[in-house]
Amino acid sequence: MDKTDVDDWSSENFVTIRWDARRDNDSRPTPQRLCKLDFPSRKQTANNILSLLHDMDPAEFGYQLTPEYFSTTFNPNDFGIIDLIEQALLPTWSSAEETVTHAKKPPGRSIEAYLWQLRVHCSTQTRNSDPRHEDMIKEKDLEDTTWRGQFGRLVVTLPFKAFTGGKLTIHPPNGRVPYQEPIVYDTWGASPPPGQRPVINWAAYHVGCNPTVSPVRSGYRISLVYNLFPVQGMSQMGSQPTTSRILDLTKLPVYQYLKALLSDEMAWDKKGGYIGFMMTHAYPHNTKQGHDIGFIPENSLRGLDFQMYQ
């Protein structure tokens, strides 16, 4: 997870969501002027959240809406988010070559983020709601040709109003401890206190992880969900060339784990010692028995293996 500060929340930089009014026989459609929300929250549109909930579909965690019924000015490339995900989670071409349709592979690899859902978690949960929403990318979903080649998911929480609860927890597959699963991580929570700049909270994780969101006790947690795919060539660069960012390794869970381990005096004697690390991914090689493989090129490393190398 990470937290992206936005230096200048001018009127031009506000993130906006617009949606189609629901039309049914039970109620009158929402007026078009009410089908808009701004982030950070503004007085002119803040109360439109109730109209949004009315026009969304109920879900076990709250409310959801698919892209054919809404649009947004938010682009994760503009905030440098995709740049950071590429450095931490992007798989090698050997694991994604089935998704490549070009006859020749140009140098470089990147990520395409496809908007999948708009979600609202709130204290007034829908009927039969699950107190801990599970959002695992299941194998049966990946069998759909629409999402074939998907390697991860990005969840972005927009700065609307302060809320309590709604904590995101990533449960790694196969019972691994959280620090051993490659995710982009920092802080997930409510809007900042008054006087501080609004922030965009986001989290990205691999296929197979099992995320849960704790119940929202007050307020509204509004998020955009993207499915992530590997692509050839350069990334979908943002409109501002200054958005390119370098991954801060101190924001990764593995950094905190190693820091605590190295700080534990009981774990080391006066002569020091060695730390062994077993790679979490398999890599191709051309040796008969798998011995004496030697050094694996840096650009072949994936996820946590790459993070440890860095």
Strands 70-72 and 199-206: unpaired
The string of pLDDT tens digits covering residues 132-191 is 455 555 444 444 444 557 888 999 999 888 888 888 877 776 654 443 333 443 333 344
Q: What element of type H or E holds 226?
A: strand 220-232
pLDDT mean across residues, the chain: 71
What CA–CA distance (Å, rounded) separates 61 from 125?
7
Give this prediction's pTM: 0.67
Cβ atoms 251, 84 nearer than 8 A: no
Q: Which of 197, 3, 263, 233 is nearest to 102 (CA)?
A: 233
> Which pLDDT band, with edges at 50, 70 and 90, does 221 fall under?
very high
Residue 240's φ and ψ, nearest 5 degrees, are: -105, 120
- What distance, in Å, lies between the first and last C-alpha atoms of the chain? 18
